[in-house]
Amino acid sequence: MSTRDAGALDGVGALDGVGILGLGVALPPRVRDNSFWAGVIGPRDEAQRRGDVLAVERSAKGHKTEVPKEIAEAMAATGDDLFRGARERRVIDDDVLVSDLEVEAGRAAMADARVTADEIDLVLVHSLISDVLIPSNAPAVQDKLGLTRAAAWSLDVGCASTQAQLVTAAALVKTGAFRRVLIVQSHAGTRSVDPKTVASVNFGDAAAAAVVGEVPAGFGILGQWQRTDGSLRDGIVLAPIVDGVAERSWWKTPVVPQLASFDADVGKTAGLRAGEFCREASFGALERAGMRLEDVDLYLGNQSLGWFVDACRRSLGLPVEKTFHTFAEVANIGDAAILFNLLAAREAGRVRHGSRLLLYSPAAGFTRSAIVMRWWAPGSEHLEKDGAA
């Protein structure tokens, strides 16, 4: 590929013709509803709001913050109770390997795409939390699925890993380096929080996967936009909590890492900028796709909190009927949310052949990432011939 062609990967239509061939998800069977916290956690108080990095309405020192209008309105719509719209979440059992959940999702995606193990030549995996520190879960997924012809790589961008994997897989397919790529994301979020803390009510567990390969021209990934601001990296971290404080030198303590912060106000500041970041990434991806916001049929995004999708919708100016999420049913399932909701929306008839999708997620680190995609439904060749797409 020439230097000119390589540069074109940043522009309109760069990844056109590569998209999702099949989807799969996996949920642990155990359900945890809101009654689990009855008598364990009381109503939110001001001390909890200060200490919870996800509670943006108070600073770490207790000062009331100026919450942007779109966030304030979304918060008001979900109510001020402890659960903010969550009713249930799935919980992985202590003796279950996360890679087994990932394999279940991967197998379902391959079946949906009607591809065999021999047809997958690369697998990209992100796990929260992986079976072991090193190696990542990618080799375990490759082995358990029998992907003997595939390389297995870890690709971690936190809650934006789905978009990073999609863009990477599509670029590799576009250049001819690989033909079909299995991407997998898992979120064992309940293992990252103390179930007796306020933050725990937001977290559930899930895995999701997709097979990425060639689709007809005009379909697949039409535009993408990615940026990272590393100065915000201390806001949300996984680190051991020692005497109530996040420990940077995690290798010095046997304590299990948990969701934490080295600087809560940095994390809260990133949360307060949720609308700004969503607009920046989403309009950047739309511009690269040569599209306008009104061209979008459905918005699917990270659902870290009950108000998050609605706040992004309000910030973008999308009508509510152009959004879809499952926070009430599964809560925050991290980077698995994009593909989980994409499959749920497809099953609900909200995603059809030719649907134009906007996928957005922020991620600890701090990365914000958006993709614009036109959905290809396998078996829809007749629609193309008839001009009905």
Residue 333 domain flag: no
Contact, 342 vs 315, CB < 8 A? no
Residue 339 falls inside a structural domain: no
Domain count, the chain: 1
- Rounded to 5, what percent of the chain is helix, strand, coil? 40, 25, 40
Give the span between the Cα atoms of 92 and 82, in whole angstroms. 22
pLDDT at 388 (0 to 100): 46
Residue 138: both structure tokens together: 């990618």
Residues 264, 236 contacting (CB under 8 angstroms): no
- Chain-centroid distance of CA 167 in Å reads 14
Calculate mean pLDDT across residues 213-236.
95
- Three-class SS of 368-387: EEEEEEECCCCCCHHHHHHC
pLDDT score of 179 more than 60? yes
Specify if 57 maps to a domain: no
**What CATH number does the domain containing 211 carry?**
3.40.47.10
> Residue 97 carries which side chain, given as an amino acid letter?
L
155 part of a folded domain: yes
Name the burial class of residue 236, with classes exposed (0-12), middle (13-18) and buried (19+) by CB atoms within 10 angstroms of its CB.
buried
pLDDT given at position 1: 36
* Cis check: omega of the bond before 135, within 30 degrees of 0: yes
E-only strand ranges, 273-355: 298-301
Residue 323 within a domain? no
Given this model, what pLDDT does residue 253 score? Answer: 87
199, part of any domain: yes
Average pLDDT over all residues of the chain: 91
For 129, the domain range is 3-29+91-218
pTM given for the model: 0.92
Domain presence at residue 187: yes
User: Would you mind telling me the total number of residues written for the chain in this entry?
Assistant: 389
**202 has pLDDT over 70:** yes
In a domain, 16, yes or no: yes
Indicate whether 200 pLDDT > 80.
Answer: yes
Whether residue 260 has pLDDT greater than 90? no
* Terminal CA-CA length for the chain: 32
Q: What is the pLDDT of residue 144?
A: 98
Looking at this protein, which amino acid is placed at residue 151?
A
